[in-house]
């Protein structure tokens, strides 16, 4: 499987976007992603995350620079249905009279004929995708009657049914229970192994080192991009967030011998981001991370 379609690459080169009101949302943004990666797009509100997403999806035309996938301009690539998009929960009209099945089928529209009449292959794809996110038994439910996590999974199924190779997810973990979050992460890892480029826009910093092997930090431009361990550091985050982040320090006195040298951190919704001594990132899921680091260093050699 080495055809250009199965191994996509995404190149954002010197992209600037100005809106008609004169607001320069993005200036000279550059990053490159090769096939098989989960990359977090991290920045504060208004840092240009959604503008960057929109230019990768071809909704806004950069005033300068270019976005290419496999060396082709985005508009060309969209015709091949290679870019899939999982919207933020707030952007969806949940009262719309469509079922889970209908939404997943929408992923197939690009591949269907003029009248959008599903063929056997479309139905099979939709069923497979819904089963993969364990939503098959809910296929006839109206989408508003689902839980937060189920809602998210329906739209993931749509991206799967579409067969997108570059998948963009906007805030995939808001309103999602921990179990679903883990299921989504497992699915994204499968897609990564299959060679997809997965770009996740998130403000949930704690989850980034858990499942993203690369990070793009943005604040009106790309501040840094690359491997998580190298880019996702305290200094870079401070630059990206400019003092917006809340910090808690645990000092010697907090880490007691009689507690077995452990600290428990409870948070209501978002995972906390933990740095160890000397600013090393702390991972819960270490094994996968180290495999990945090894694999990446081998690739470099």
List residues binding other proteins (CB under 8 A): 20, 57-59, 78-81, 83-85, 87, 91-93, 96-99, 102, 106-107, 109-110, 114-116, 142, 158, 162
Q: How many CA atoms lie within 13 A of 39 on its CB side?
A: 29
Pairwise CA distance, residues 75 & 36, whole Å? 22
SS3 content of the chain, % helix, strand, coil (to 5): 40, 20, 40
Rounded least distance, CB 48 to other proteins, Å: 17
What is the β-pairing status of strands 72-73 and 83-86?
unpaired
Nearer to other proteins, 154 or 240 (CB): 154
Q: How far is the CB of 287 from other proteins (least distance, A)?
A: 34
Least distance between other proteins and beta carbon 68 (Å): 16
Give me the torsion for CA of 123, 125, 126, 129, rounded to 10°: 160
State the nearest-atom distance from the C-beta of 110 to other proteins, in Å: 4
Q: Which CB atom, from 8 or from 209, has the smaller least distance to other proteins?
A: 8
Report whether 71 contacts 88 (CB < 8 A): no
What phi and psi values does residue 130 have, to the nearest 5 degrees?
A: -65, -40
Residues 6 or more apart whose CB falls under 8 angstroms from that of 66 comprise 11, 13, 14, 15, 73
Cα separation, 71 vs 2, whole angstroms: 15
Q: Which is nearer to other proteins, 158 or 271 (CB)?
A: 158
- CB of residue 31 to other proteins, shortest distance in Å: 20
Structure tokens at 1: 């499987």
The smaller minimum CB distance to other proteins, of residues 107 and 172, is found at 107
Shortest spacing between CB 78 and other proteins, in angstroms:
4
Angle made by CA atoms 108, 171, 104, in degrees to the nearest 5: 20
Q: How far is the CB of 182 from other proteins (least distance, A)?
A: 26
Q: Which is nearer to other proteins, 78 or 274 (CB)?
A: 78
User: What whole-number distance in Å separates Cα of residue 164 and Cα of residue 161?
Assistant: 8
Going by the DSSP 8-state scheme, the letter that residue 296 receives in this structure is H
Contact 53, 25 (CB under 8 A): no
Q: What is the spatial distance between Cα 281 and Cα 65, in angstroms, rounded to a whole number?
A: 34
Closer by beta carbon to other proteins, 96 or else 250: 96
Nearer residue to other proteins within complex by CB, 78 or 293: 78
């Amino acid at each position: 499987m080495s055809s250009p379609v199965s191994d996509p690459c995404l190149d954002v080169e010197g992209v600037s976007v100005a809106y008609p009101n004169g607001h320069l949302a993005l200036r000279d943004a550059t990053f490159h992603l090769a096939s098989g990666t989960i990359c977090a797009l991290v920045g504060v509100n208004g840092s240009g995350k959604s503008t960057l997403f929109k230019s990768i999806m071809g909704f806004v035309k950069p005033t300068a620079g270019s976005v290419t996938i496999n060396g082709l301009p985005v508009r060309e690539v969209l015709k091949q249905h290679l870019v899939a998009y999982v919207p933020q929960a707030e952007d969806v009209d949940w009262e719309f009279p469509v079922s889970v099945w209908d939404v997943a089928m929408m992923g197939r529209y690009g591949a269907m004929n003029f009248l959008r009449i599903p063929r056997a292959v479309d139905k099979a794809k939709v069923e497979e995708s819904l089963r993969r996110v364990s939503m098959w038994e809910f296929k006839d439910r109206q989408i508003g009657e689902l839980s937060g996590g189920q809602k998210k999974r329906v739209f993931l199924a749509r991206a799967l049914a579409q067969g997108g190779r570059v998948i963009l997810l906007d805030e995939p973990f808001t309103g999602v229970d921990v179990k679903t979050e883990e299921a989504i992460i497992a699915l994204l890892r499968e897609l990564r192994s299959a060679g997809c480029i997965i770009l996740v826009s998130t403000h949930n910093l704690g989850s980034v080192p858990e499942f993203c092997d690369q990070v793009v930090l943005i604040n009106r431009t790309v501040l840094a991009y690359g491997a998580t361990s190298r880019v996702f550091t305290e200094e870079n985050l401070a630059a990206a967030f400019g003092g917006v982040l809340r910090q808690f320090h645990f000092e010697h006195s907090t880490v007691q011998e009689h507690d077995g040298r452990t600290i428990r951190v409870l948070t209501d919704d978002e995972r906390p981001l933990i740095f160890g001594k000397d600013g090393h990132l702390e991972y819960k899921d270490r094994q996968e991370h180290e495999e990945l680091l090894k694999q990446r260093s081998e690739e470099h050699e």
